[in-house]
Structure 1
C-alpha cells in the first residue's frame, strides 16, 4: 500500500511536470529563441499548413486551422500576429495584397494597398524631401484592417474575436525578440531612440531590445482589443481612427479622418496565365508582381528547354529576363487612374515574351537602353509574407507592408500603431536620380491613388488542382525572388532547396547584378558560387553583393495522395503538403 507521503510526493512530481509543460507551451507561444535550435524550416503534413515570416505566426495560423478555420481565418490571424512580432515590416498601419483561390476554383485578388491622402499633390515634397520617408507626411491611408475584415466576412468560419485575441495576448504578455528583429532594431537605433512611440516599445528605459529580451506592445494591445470587439469601424469611423489621425497630423502629416472614412478595399480579378505547364494566379496592378512574374516565366519558356534555366548560362538567361521585365513594369500603375491594359496585354503575351527572348545573347549583356526602358525604377521596400493551405485545399497568399523598415519611423503613441511611409512608393517630378531614366509620370502622386508595388503573392495550379502557394518579403527584390524559387521548383528542386539556394537580382537600373554573399543573423552562410559570378563577369555584367528578398512556400504534391481519412469528394485532389520558410528571416513553417 502506498503511504500518504509517497502519494504527496508523486502528486508533487506530477504537478511539477504539468507546470513545466505549461511553461514550455508559454515559451513556445511567446517565442523562446532556444526552440529555434530544434525546429526545421521544412515540414510535411496531410491536412493544413502555414508558412510565415515568423514561427509564432505560423503556429498561430495552424492553431486556427485546427479549430476548424478556413485558410482565410489562418491568414488573417497570422497577419495580425506578424504586425506585432515583425513590426519593422507590417501591421495595421500599412497595407496588403492578398490572392485567394478556393478549392472550387473561385479566385479573387484583394487590394488593400494604402492610398494617398486627399490633400496630397504631385509636388508636395518639392521643398521637403525627408518628408517623403520620415514622419507623418510620409503616411498613406492604411488599408490592411479593412481588407482583412472584408475577406473574413466573406469566407471566414471562426469568430472575428478569435482571430485577434491571440495577438492581443502577445502584445500584453510580451514575446521574445528573435535575432532578425534584434538586428532591425539595432540597424534603426537612431530613429527608434528619436521617436517616443518607437522608443517606448523597442528601447524601454533607453535600452535597445536585444535577442531574447521580451517586447511588449501594450498600447497596440488595447487598440486591437477595440478592433476585436467592434471590428474595423472603430478604426475607420471611430475613436481609434480619430486618435491615429491626430497623432499623424501632430507629426506633420496631412491625413484626415475623412480619408480614413473614404478608404475602400478593391476586389480585383487575379491575373491568370498558362506557362511551363502550370497556371499562374498573380496580383494585378497596382502590383507589378503578377504581370512581372508571368513575363519572366514566359521569356524563359520561349527557350522551349528546361536546360535554358540551368547552370551558369541559365543564371545569365534569368538575369536578362529580369532586365527586360523591369524595363516594362514601370509603365504599370493604379488602374483607377491610368489605363494599364495595353501594357498588361504585352506582359501577359507569350508572343511578346518570345520577341524579347530572341534579343537575349548567350555571350553578352547589354546597356539599359537596349531593353526599351524609359523610366527610373521605383524602389519599394520591406514586407511580410504568409502562405496558407487548409484541409479542403483552399489557399491564401498574402503580402503585407509598411514600406521601409519601421515605416515612417513614427509610432502613434495614443494607438500603438506603427505608421507606414508608403508615399515614398510614388515618384515626383523633382525626384533627383543619377540613373539613366527619369521618373515615370504614371506613378505621380494623386489624391486617393495607390502607388506601384512589386509585392507578388502567387498561387500555382496544375491541371486545375492546387500546386503551390508562395510569395516574398523584401521590396523591389520580391519579384525576382519569387521567380527564382518557382523556376527551381519547376526544375525539380526539393522545396527547401528551391527556397534556400543563393539568388541574384537585376532591376535594369542601377545596371548591376545584385548577388548574395552574406551570413544571416543565425550564422548560416549564403553565397552565389564564384564560378557563376565569374561567368556573369565574362558576359559583361557588373556585380555587387547584397541581400535578397525572403520567400515562404507551400507545395501541394499531386503525386502523393494523403491517407483516405482526409480525402474529400468533388474532384478536389488532396495531396501531401510541404511547407518551407526562408532561412533569411525568422520564419519557420507549421503544419498538421
Structure 2
C-alpha cells in the first residue's frame, strides 16, 4: 500500500468527519492553530502575526496590534494589501459596543461614470484604475481613538522589514508567477521583484528601501506626510507622470468614514458586520437568516447542507448589487430587507431541497462585479477587545503599478465600480448604485465579522478572496457554530462558492502552499450534481483567519486562533 502524505491523510479524515457530521480536533502539532489566555493575532503571514502579538504583550489595544500587523502585511504581502490601498476595520469593544471604520478607496475628483468608454481595460489595470488610498488615514484615525502605544512603535517593525529586507513567501511567489507579465511591464515592480531579468524565488530576500523611507516618515509624523506632505507630493508626481488623474487635492480631501456596524441576532448569536459600501455584513446575515429556518444546530447529509447554503448564497448575490456607497445612494431599504427575518422566510420558500434553478429564479436585476484579492486579520487583546480587519489593493499587485519614489504599490480599486455598457437581453445591465462618481467608494464583498453571545465575545472571523469572501466567511462560521466542528476543522473543511452569475457551483480541489490537499468529497459532488448544480473545480478560494473564545467558566475564556493554511500564514499569541 503506498504511503499517504500526513497532511493529505488529515484532510481525508476531515472530509469523512464532515460527511458524517462528527467533530474532532485535527490541530495537534499544527502551527496554524494556537491556544492562548491573554491575546492572539491571526494574519495571512506569521511574521505579521508575531509583530501584532508583541504589541499586545506590551499592553497594546487590539487596534494597536492591527496597525502594526496591517503595515507589516503591506510590506511582506504586497500583492494583497498595503498603504496604496484601503480597508474595512470592525472594532468590537469588551463592553459589547462596536464601530466600523471605513477606509475604503474613493474615486478621484476627475473621475466620471463614462471615463472608461471604449477602453474598459484601463479600468482593470494601470494608472487610470487607481483610486484614492485610504489605509493610512483609517489606521491613524482608529489609533487616535483606541491606541495605547506610541504610533512610532507600531510603524517601526514594518519600516524595518521594508528597509532591511524580507524573504519571499511561497504564496507571494505564486502571486508573482501569476502576475509575471504585469511585473515585467512596470519598472517599479520589475526593480523590486526581479533579479537579472527573472522573478525572485521563494526564500530570496526582497528589499523595498523606498517604502522603508516612506514608512519612517509616517512613523515620525503620522498620516500628514502621506495626505498633505512630501510622500503625497512624490506619489502624485509619479502617478501624473504616468498618465494618472489623482491630485494632491484628492489626498487632502480624503475622509475616513466611521459608520454604525450591521448588528443582527441570528441563531442565538449577536452578529456584528460591516455596513455598505461593504455588502458582506448584510449578505452574511441574510444567508444565516435563511438557513436558520431549517433549524439549529444544522443536521442532515452534508450535500443537503451545502445545497441549501449555496441557494441562500445565490439569493444574497441577487440582492447585493442594489447596494452602494451610502453617501451617494439610499440603501436603507435594501439593508433592512437583507436583515429582515420575514424577508429571509419568503426567500426560503423558493428553495427546494431536490433541485436548483437558473439565475432568473433568484430575482437579480443587475450584472455582478467580481472584486479581487485581499488580506484579513483577526485580533483579540487581553481585555477581550476585538478587531476584524480586511484590507485590499484589489487585484494581485493592484494596478500593476509601483510608485518608484515612494515604494508604494497602488490599488486598482476603480475596477470595483460598475460602468454603463450596452447589454443584450441575455445579460443583466450594470448596477447604477455602483456607478463611478468623484469621491464615491466602490461596492465590496469584504466581510469582517465579530460574534458575541450573552454579552461575551465568542468569535472574530473574516476572509480574503474577492467576491468569494462572503461564502468563505459564512461557511467557516457555520462549520463551527452550526455544525459543531472545532475551529481548525472549520477552517480546513473544503469550501463551496456560488456567485449567481455564471450559474456554476465552484468547489475546492487543490494542493495549497503548505502541502495540504483540500478537495470536496466525490460523494458530495455527485449528490449536488443530481440536484442540478453545474460543478466547477477551482485551485483557489478564500483564506480565513478565525479566532474563537471558549469558556471554561462563566468569566474565564481561552482564545483559539487559526490561520488558514491555504496562504501559509500562522497565528501568534501569549
TM bucket, shorter chain: over 0.9
Over 3 Å counting, the alpha-carbon distance change for 1:535 and 1:397 in structure 2 is: same
Aligned equivalent of 1:128 = 119
Identify the match of residue 464 of structure 1 among 455, 471, 486: 455
Alignment of 1:47-62 (within 5 A): 47-62=38-53
Q: Conserved in 2, the CA contact under 8 Å of 1:471 and 1:553?
A: yes
Identify the match of residue 322 of structure 1 among 281, 293, 313: 313
Aligned equivalent of 1:15 = none
Identify the match of residue 562 of structure 2 among 574, 577, 580: 580
Q: CA deviation at 1:432?
A: 6.7
Aligned equivalent of 2:499 = 507
Q: Conserved in 1, the CA contact under 8 Å of 2:267 and 2:296?
A: no
Question: 2-side partners of 1:138 and 1:334: how far apart?
Answer: 18
Aligned equivalent of 2:72 = 81
Question: 2-side partners of 1:530 and 1:416: how far apart?
Answer: 47
> Does 1:207 pair with 2:198?
yes
Q: CA deviation at 1:436?
A: 3.3
Q: Conserved in 2, the CA contact under 8 Å of 1:309 and 1:318?
A: no
Over 3 Å counting, the alpha-carbon distance change for 1:434 and 1:500 in structure 2 is: farther
Question: 2-side partners of 1:573 and 1:449: how far apart?
Answer: 44
Aligned equivalent of 1:8 = none
Identify the match of residue 549 of structure 2 among 556, 567, 578: 556
Aligned equivalent of 1:566 = none
Q: CA deviation at 1:374?
A: 0.5
Aligned equivalent of 2:260 = 269
Q: Conserved in 2, the CA contact under 8 Å of 1:514 and 1:545?
A: yes
Q: Deviations over 1:473-512 (max 9, x none)?
A: 0000000000000001112101000011100000100110
Identify the match of residue 291 of structure 2 among 292, 300, 306: 300
Aligned equivalent of 1:590 = 572
Identify the match of residue 163 of structure 1 among 154, 166, 178: 154
SS, match of residue 333 in structure 1:
coil
> Does 1:369 pair with 2:374?
no
SS, match of residue 79 in structure 2:
coil
Stretch moving more, 435-444 or 260-269? 435-444
User: What is the RMSD of the two structures over their aligned residues, measured on CA atoms?
Assistant: 1.5
Question: 2-side partners of 1:435 and 1:130: how far apart?
Answer: 23
Aligned equivalent of 1:105 = 96
Question: 1-side partners of 2:426 and 2:156: how far apart?
Answer: 48
Q: Deviations over 1:276-315 (max 9, x none)?
A: 1101000000000000000000000011243357511111
SS, match of residue 99 in structure 2:
strand
Question: 2-side partners of 1:381 and 1:405: how far apart?
Answer: 8
Q: Conserved in 2, the CA contact under 8 Å of 1:436 and 1:509?
A: no
Alignment of 1:514-529 (within 5 A): 514-529=506-521
> Does 1:256 pair with 2:244?
no
Question: 1-side partners of 2:435 and 2:195: how far apart?
Answer: 39
Question: 1-side partners of 2:298 and 2:565: how far apart?
Answer: 27
Over 3 Å counting, the alpha-carbon distance change for 1:535 and 1:39 in structure 2 is: closer
Over 3 Å counting, the alpha-carbon distance change for 1:402 and 1:309 in structure 2 is: farther
Over 3 Å counting, the alpha-carbon distance change for 1:432 and 1:117 in structure 2 is: farther
Q: Conserved in 1, the CA contact under 8 Å of 2:39 and 2:380?
A: yes
Identify the match of residue 396 of structure 1 among 381, 387, 390: 387
Q: Conserved in 1, the CA contact under 8 Å of 2:509 and 2:520?
A: yes
Q: Conserved in 2, the CA contact under 8 Å of 1:465 and 1:573?
A: no
Aligned equivalent of 2:276 = 285
Larger radius of gyration, structure 1 or 2? 1
Alignment of 1:90-101 (within 5 A): 90-101=81-92
Aligned equivalent of 1:533 = 525
Aligned equivalent of 2:14 = none
Aligned equivalent of 1:235 = 226
SS, match of residue 516 in structure 1:
strand
> Does 1:141 pair with 2:141?
no
Over 3 Å counting, the alpha-carbon distance change for 1:408 and 1:431 in structure 2 is: farther
Q: Say how many residue pairs are matched.
A: 545
Q: Deviations over 1:20-72 (max 9, x none)?
A: xxxxxxxxxxxxxxxxxx86111001000000010000000001011111111
Identify the match of residue 427 of structure 1 among 414, 418, 422: 418
Q: Conserved in 1, the CA contact under 8 Å of 2:514 and 2:568?
A: no
Question: 2-side partners of 1:217 and 1:414: how far apart?
Answer: 11
Give the gaps of 5 or more residues in structure 2.
Answer: 1-28
SS, match of residue 415 in structure 1:
coil
Over 3 Å counting, the alpha-carbon distance change for 1:435 and 1:508 in structure 2 is: farther
SS, match of residue 342 in structure 2:
helix
Over 3 Å counting, the alpha-carbon distance change for 1:257 and 1:504 in structure 2 is: same
Q: Conserved in 2, the CA contact under 8 Å of 1:435 and 1:510?
A: no
Q: CA deviation at 1:252?
A: 1.7
Q: CA deviation at 1:172?
A: 1.3
Give the gaps of 5 or more residues in structure 1.
Answer: 1-37, 562-571
Question: 2-side partners of 1:289 and 1:171: how far apart?
Answer: 32
Over 3 Å counting, the alpha-carbon distance change for 1:206 and 1:534 in structure 2 is: same
Q: Conserved in 2, the CA contact under 8 Å of 1:89 and 1:401?
A: yes
